[in-house]
Amino acid sequence: MTGPVQTAIIDKLTDALHPQHLQVDNESHKHSVPPNSETHFKVTLVSEQLRGLTPVRRHQAVYAALKEEMDGPVHALAIHAYTPEEWPGQAPDSPRCRGGNGL
């Protein structure tokens, strides 16, 4: 089920970066947060608009699009941003949470 924060992330990244591929995974359940939280996300984004940008600039573009979410409910955001030529077909797995109960 997609919650309101996840939906906002999808909508804002789609509007800002026009991705050919976008996957937004809510990984909150892997962390020490209440059930049904929307605080930890993994974004996998493939977009022509990232061409010529350094990895830092790509992350800044994502953060700019998600300023409201980053100022509010989102605690952590893993970003995997590629051009179409760089896209390996899937993003790397997220590491296990090392804090809290480690679930």
Residue 41: CATH number of its domain: 3.30.300.90
Supply the pTM of this predicted model: 0.89
| pLDDT for the residue numbered 8 | 98
Mean pLDDT of the chain: 92
**Are 50 and 76 contacting, i.e. CB atoms less than 8 angstroms apart?**
no
Average pLDDT for 38-49:
96
Q: How far apart are CA 16 and CA 20, in angstroms?
A: 12
Query: Any idea what the Cα angle at residue 71 is, between residues 70 and 77, rounded to 5°?
Result: 15
Asked if the structure places residue 98 within a domain, the reply is no
Counting the structural domains of the chain, the total is 1
Do 21 and 43 contact (CB within 8 A), yes or no?
no
Q: Does residue 95 lie in a domain region?
A: no
Three-state secondary-structure class, residue 42: strand
Q: Which domain holds residue 43?
A: 4-82
CB 81 within 8 A of CB 22: no
